[in-house]
């Protein structure tokens, strides 16, 4: 092959990968819309009310792993105890904090040491003590040796007594009726439903009182604002569409409800990956597919968990590199699923899509940014190619983001003001010129860290609300 052939081959390959991604985004949009219309809970206040007053919900264990949270743990637990859910058990797992997280809990909730029979179904670091309170019978605090977030959740799974569990970060804010909404798919299809994901939204810019979001607002800082648009796109389009197609491969660890028996059957959350939430879902898929069990996983956009977004480049970069590492760890660990017909449409379509999005996509985009303009500048490619490249990797992104906003406005209307929509509309243009490329850079660094087998989480400094 001559040099010209290489240039042509590389250029067309990059363009093809970008086009394929865009085609997938395009078909995701109507699928997401159909899923929203089919299962919308937006107007159905009566069913939520009936669930609340009749106590006929499926019991849920809310697992809250906590590490070094002394500043906010008491207020977080109080707000979770106030959640509108009739049959809720709240299990806080203190993962060997070196600060006064446990002491603060004991003081605030008058906790005493208790005995609690539990199965050692999934492995975790030793438990030092279990605490309960007669004043708060639904609250259990587990004190254990440090083992990491996955380890802490596994301890919570073992201690939990309810058929469903939900993992929530200690500093996240669950909407009052979030669990009532998120549990409905399990009640609608009790034999098949194994996991349900809810929406994560950005807390920055919102007003929080007594542990509840009382006023929704957009972040005032640019970085969290960009992330607001990203989250709308990810949760309102991608998750809904894959839920519609029965190939949901990611339920965010920040807000997901899982069947406890299935999670135990697959060994709980894995310790050896930073993408433990993604990996749990893939393990569940594999386990259920192997047994040819009829099952379902769904994403529900109405229940919301609010979480603080990083507001500095350093912290955001660490987060994105970690996410990329996690995606690659899980992909390569479970690469046997890819293109494997034994895993049904997950193997043929779902997981290969993840390969495109997480493995090939960032590399193709990086090579494209690096080489296409250079090739054009050097006269190796003509202007029509450059325009097509810009269209695929910049302009089309505007269409996708704006379409997600349109979907949000038509079906959910969670942004209170017209001004918010206008701002996000502008963001959806601006994000493609700079932020997208920066994200891609972080993803490439994540690739590099993955190849170097880096394991750390980095630090996330939270300001608190």
Partner 1 sequence: MSVSPSASETLLLLDIWLVSLLLALVSLSVLLWLILSRLHSQRKYLHLAERRKTLYSLFHTALQLPAPPTPDLLPKLGKSDYGIICSIALDMLRNLRGGERQRIVDLLKSWDTLPYLLHLLKQGRRGKRIQALSLIARFDTPEAEEILLKHIRHPDTYTQLAALRGLAARGDIRHLDQAVEALAQSNQRNTLMLADILSRFGDAAAPFLIELAGSDALPEVRSAAIMTLGNMRALAAVDSLIRLCHDAHPEIRAAAVAALGEMGDSRAGDAAVLLLRDEAAPVREQAAHALGLLVFQPALPALAACLSDTAWWVRFRAAEALHRLGDRGLAMLRSVSVQPDEAGRIARDVLAEKEVA
Applying CB under 8 A, among 417, 448, 460, 461 the residue interacting with partner 1 is 417
Residue 296 Cβ vs partner 1, minimum distance, rounded to whole Å: 11
Q: Could you give the CA distance from residue 156 to residue 116 in angstroms, rounded to a whole number?
A: 12
Q: Is residue 385 at the binding interface for partner 1, with CB under 8 A as the rule?
A: yes
**Closer to partner 1 by Cβ: residue 117 or 135:** 117
- Contact call for residues 131 and 112 (beta carbons, < 8 A): yes
| Mask for 34-53, x = binds partner 1 (CB under 8 A) | ---x--xxxxxxxx-xxx--
- Contact call for residues 364 and 17 (beta carbons, < 8 A): yes
> Closest Cα to residue 201, out of 276, 82, 308?
308
**What is the full DSSP assignment across 255-266?**
EEEEEHHHHHHT
Q: Could you give the CA distance from residue 252 to residue 255 in angstroms, rounded to a whole number?
A: 6
Q: Is residue 1 at the binding interface for partner 1, with CB under 8 A as the rule?
A: no
Residue 218 Cβ vs partner 1, minimum distance, rounded to whole Å: 14
Q: Could you give the CA distance from residue 35 to residue 367 in angstroms, rounded to a whole number?
A: 35
**Closer to partner 1 by Cβ: residue 313 or 387:** 387
Residue with tokens 């605090």: 141
Q: Helices 313-333 and 222-233: crossing angle, nearest 10°? A: 30
Applying CB under 8 A, among 384, 452, 453, 459 the residue interacting with partner 1 is 384
Residue 424 Cβ vs partner 1, minimum distance, rounded to whole Å: 9
Half-sphere exposure of 120 (CA within 13 A, CB side): 5
Q: Is residue 27 at the binding interface for partner 1, with CB under 8 A as the rule?
A: no
**Count of residues binding partner 1 (CB under 8 A)?**
65
Q: Is residue 304 at the binding interface for partner 1, with CB under 8 A as the rule?
A: no
Q: Is residue 388 at the binding interface for partner 1, with CB under 8 A as the rule?
A: yes
Residue 187 Cβ vs partner 1, minimum distance, rounded to whole Å: 5
Q: Is residue 56 at the binding interface for partner 1, with CB under 8 A as the rule?
A: yes
Q: Which stretch binds partner 1 (CB under 8 A): 14-22, 94-102, 166-174, 304-312?
A: 14-22
Subset of residues 276 to 295 that bind partner 1, contact rule: CB under 8 A? none
Q: Could you give the CA distance from residue 154 to residue 144 in angstroms, rounded to a whole number?
A: 11
Subset of residues 444 to 463 that bind partner 1, contact rule: CB under 8 A? none
Q: Is residue 8 at the binding interface for partner 1, with CB under 8 A as the rule?
A: yes
**Closer to partner 1 by Cβ: residue 75 or 87:** 87
| Mask for 106-125, x = binds partner 1 (CB under 8 A) | --------xxxxxx-x----
Q: Is residue 217 at the binding interface for partner 1, with CB under 8 A as the rule?
A: no
Q: Is residue 410 at the binding interface for partner 1, with CB under 8 A as the rule?
A: yes
Residue 217 Cβ vs partner 1, minimum distance, rounded to whole Å: 15
Distances (CA, A) of 326 to 314, 358, 379: 18, 10, 39
Phi-psi region of 395 (alpha: psi -120 to 50; beta: other; left: phi over 0): alpha
**Closer to partner 1 by Cβ: residue 9 or 448:** 9
The two beta strands, 212-215 and 207-209, are: antiparallel
Instruction: Pinpoint the alpha helices (H) of 275-360.
Output: 276-290, 313-333, 344-345, 351-354
Q: Is residue 187 at the binding interface for partner 1, with CB under 8 A as the rule?
A: yes
Distances (CA, A) of 382 to 53, 369, 375, 386: 67, 16, 9, 7
Counted residue by residue, the chain has a size of 465
**Closer to partner 1 by Cβ: residue 50 or 107:** 50
Per DSSP (E only), the strands in 122-192 are 127-132, 139-144, 164-168, 173-174
Handedness of CA 258, 250, 342, 191 (dihedral sign): positive
Q: Is residue 269 at the binding interface for partner 1, with CB under 8 A as the rule?
A: no
Q: Could you give the CA distance from residue 252 to residue 256 in angstroms, rounded to a whole number?
A: 6
**Closer to partner 1 by Cβ: residue 171 or 365:** 365
Subset of residues 120 to 179 that bind partner 1, contact rule: CB under 8 A? 121
Applying CB under 8 A, among 54, 209, 292, 463 the residue interacting with partner 1 is 54
Q: Is residue 188 at the binding interface for partner 1, with CB under 8 A as the rule?
A: yes
Residue 15 Cβ vs partner 1, minimum distance, rounded to whole Å: 8
Q: Could you give the CA distance from residue 165 to residue 110 in angstroms, rounded to a whole number?
A: 25
Q: Which residue ranges make up the site for partner 1 (CB under 8 A)?
A: 2-4, 7-8, 11, 15, 19, 22, 37, 40-47, 49-51, 54, 56-58, 114-119, 121, 187-191, 375, 379-382, 384-385, 387-388, 390-392, 395-396, 398-399, 402-403, 405-406, 409-410, 417-418, 421-422, 425, 429
């Amino acid at each position: 092959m001559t040099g010209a052939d290489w240039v042509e081959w590389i250029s067309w390959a990059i363009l093809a990968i970008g086009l394929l991604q865009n085609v997938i985004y395009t078909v995701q949009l109507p699928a997401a819309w159909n899923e929203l219309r089919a299962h919308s809970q937006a107007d159905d206040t009566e069913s939520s009310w009936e669930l609340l007053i009749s106590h006929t919900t499926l019991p849920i264990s809310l697992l809250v792993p906590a590490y070094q949270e002394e500043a906010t743990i008491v207020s977080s637990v109080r707000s979770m105890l106030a959640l509108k859910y009739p049959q809720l058990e709240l299990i806080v797992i203190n993962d060997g904090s070196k600060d006064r997280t446990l002491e603060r809990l004991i003081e605030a909730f008058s906790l005493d040491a208790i005995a609690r029979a539990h199965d050692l179904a999934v492995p975790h670091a030793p438990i030092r003590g279990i605490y309960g309170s007669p004043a708060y019978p639904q609250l259990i605090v587990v004190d254990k040796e440090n083992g990491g977030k996955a380890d802490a959740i596994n301890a919570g799974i073992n201690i939990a007594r309810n058929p469903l569990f939900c993992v929530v970060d200690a500093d996240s804010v669950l909407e009052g009726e979030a669990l009532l909404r998120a549990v409905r798919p399990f009640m609608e299809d009790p034999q098949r439903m194994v996991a349900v994901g809810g929406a994560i939204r950005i807390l920055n810019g919102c007003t929080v009182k007594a542990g509840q979001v009382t006023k929704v607002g957009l972040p005032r800082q640019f970085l969290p604002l960009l992330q607001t648009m990203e989250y709308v796109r990810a949760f309102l389009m991608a998750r809904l569409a894959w839920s519609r197609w029965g190939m949901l491969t990611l339920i965010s660890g920040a807000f997901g409800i899982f069947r406890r028996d299935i999670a135990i059957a697959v060994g709980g959350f894995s310790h050896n990956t930073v993408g433990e939430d993604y990996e749990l879902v893939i393990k569940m898929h594999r386990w259920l597919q192997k047994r040819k069990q009829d099952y379902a996983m769904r994403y529900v956009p109405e229940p919301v968990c609010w979480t603080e977004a990083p507001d500095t480049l350093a912290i955001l970069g660490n987060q994105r590199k970690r996410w990329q590492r996690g995606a690659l760890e899980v992909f390569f660990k479970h690469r046997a699923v890819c293109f494997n017909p034994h895993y049904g449409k997950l193997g043929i379509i779902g997981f290969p899509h993840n390969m495109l999005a997480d493995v090939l996509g960032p590399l193709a985009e990086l090579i494209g940014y690096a080489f296409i303009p250079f090739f054009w500048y050097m006269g190796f490619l003509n202007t029509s190619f450059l325009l097509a490249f810009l269209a695929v990797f910049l302009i089309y992104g505007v269409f996708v983001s704006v379409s997600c906003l349109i979907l949000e406005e038509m079906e959910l209307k969670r942004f209170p003001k017209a001004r918010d929509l206008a701002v996000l509309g502008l963001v959806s243009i601006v994000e493609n010129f700079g932020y997208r490329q920066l994200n891609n850079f972080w993803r490439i660094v994540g690739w590099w860290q993955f190849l170097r087998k880096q394991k750390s989480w980095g630090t996330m400094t939270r300001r608190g609300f």
